[in-house]
Chain A
Amino acid sequence: EAGVAQSPRYKIIEKRQSVAFWCNPISGHATLYWYQQILGQGPKLLIQFQNNGVVDDSQLPKDRFSAERLKGVDSTLKIQPAKLEDSAVYLCASSLDRGSGPIYEQYFGPGTRLTVT
Chain B
Amino acid sequence: GESVGLHLPTLSVQEGDNSIINCAYSNSASDYFIWYKQESGKGPQFIIDIRSNMDKRQGQRVTVLLNKTVKHLSLQIAATQPGDSAVYFCAENKYSGNTPLVFGKGTRLSVIA
Contact = CB atoms under 8 A, between A and B. Distances in A.
A100 B94 CA distance: 10
Q: Which of B32, B94, B106 has the most CB of A within 10 A?
A: B106
A21 interface: no
B4 interface: yes
Contacts of A109: 43
Given A42-B104, A42-B105, A102 B43 contact: no
Contacts of B96: 100-103
A48 interface: yes
B101 interface: yes
Contacts of A114: none
Q: How large is the interface on B (under 10, 10 to 19, 20 to 34, 35 or more residues)?
A: 20 to 34
B20 to A, nearest CB: 19
Contact of A108 (B44, B97, B104, B105): B44
A99 interface: yes
Contacts of B101: 43, 45, 106
Interface string A30-56: 000000000011111100100000011
A91 interface: yes
A49 B39 CA distance: 26
B46 A44 contact: no
Interface string B83-100: 000000101011111101
A98 interface: yes
B100 A45 contact: yes
A40 B44 contact: no
A34 to B, nearest CB: 11
Contacts of A25: none
B103 A42 contact: yes
Contact of A42 (B49, B89, B93): B89
When A and B form their complex, which 7 residue pairs have the shortest distance between CB atoms, in order from nearest? A42-B103, A108-B43, A45-B100, A42-B89, A108-B44, A43-B103, A105-B46
